[in-house]
Amino acid sequence: MKALVYKGPGQKDWIEKEKPGIEKPTDVIVRITKTTICGTDLHILKGDVPAVTPGRTLGHEGVGVVEEVGAAVANFKPGDPVLISCVTSCGKCANCKRQLYAHCSDGGWILGHMIDGTQAEYVRIPHGDNSLYPLPAGVDEDALVMLSDILPTGLEIGVQYGNVKPGDTIAIIGAGPVGMSVLLTSQFYSPGRIVMIDMDPARLELAKQFGATDTLQVGVDDVVERIMEMTDGLGVDVAIEAVGVPATFDTCQKIVSAGGAIANVGVHGKPVELHIEELWIKNINISMGLVSTNTTPMLLKTLNAGKVDPARLVTHRFKLDDILDAYEVFGNAAREKAMKVILNA
């Protein structure tokens, strides 16, 4: 089969690789029909995730068709169309029992990280019964790919960890795919004002179409000053970091209100400076984490009911064989006006 393989920082290739097989009775082999590229994959290629070693097939998102199942798999059979969760969960360990699937003792985020991932023609999914979801009939599969990772990430780590409430003023820093997912899912909780902050005017215009009430352009607007003007000097109830660089986290510290929350969603490859000398007195909460995908069943129902449309995040489509071209486009998102790419097998 063909697979997109990490070959060290800054290096990748689309090469022939051995097709995966059943290794444990709980495994499921899935033939990929659609996958995508995540910002985390770009972080890996920068060398920000040293646990990923050369030779690893990247990718942790996608939909496909069950090709083969292990002897212990009860919920799926060959031919079933499935959604692949970016997080693998055994369903039995202490962390899984409290729905903290991100820290499953025999799983978590391992696809495209510790084991071969989904940017390939076939992928092995450990603990298939707990790590795959049947595809609802008639739902746009491009939209379903967004439920592998970015939509639950935005909801769980941005919106729920940030404790967004009706009437809140929230600021989202970073109008990339995850920031847009925060924007879409925050509206489940009816915030009064949603401020999207980014450098790219095209992404800010798209954010308005997705429901942002206000936008601020980094480099044009003095973001901190404008936020304080908008909030009568109070700051925002929830500041959500969706980039993963020190400067954006620092902005969150400057704009959060007393009694507010900073929810860090971005993947950071460098340390940030925590201004505890200013924040200790403000009664704020700071949260961060890896998505557990415990909201995926709810999001599937919401998508099926037409209450959210993440397919709008897809801007480019490629054949899976053209994945190197897709990486070039996604890696130059501002130039290419790219949000999410879909790779069709």
pLDDT tens readout for residues 303-338: 999 999 999 999 999 999 999 999 999 999 989 999
Predicted local confidence at residue 269, as pLDDT: 82
Question: pTM (2 decimals)?
Answer: 0.95
> SS3 for 79-96, per residue?
CCEEEECCCECCCCCHHH
Q: How far apart are CA 132 and CA 85, in angstroms?
A: 6
For residue 324 the two structure tokens come to 């190197």
For residue 216 the two structure tokens come to 């601020």
pLDDT tens readout for residues 41-62: 998 999 888 999 999 999 999 9
Residue appearing with tokens 């097709």: 19
Report whether 12 contacts 327 (CB < 8 A).
Answer: yes
pLDDT tens readout for residues 244-260: 999 999 999 999 999 99
Predicted local confidence at residue 259, as pLDDT: 98
Q: Give the containing element (helix H, strand E) for 153.
A: helix 150-153
Q: Would residue 211 be called left, alpha or beta, if left means φ above 0 and alpha means ψ between -120 and 50 degrees?
A: left
Q: How far apart are CA 92 and CA 176, in angstroms?
A: 35
Q: Give the containing element (helix H, strand E) for 262.
A: strand 256-264
Report whether 229 contacts 254 (CB < 8 A).
Answer: no
Domains of the chain with CATH codes: 2-149+292-344 (3.90.180.10), 154-288 (3.40.50.720)
pLDDT tens readout for residues 21-37: 999 999 999 999 999 99
For residue 172 the two structure tokens come to 């989202």
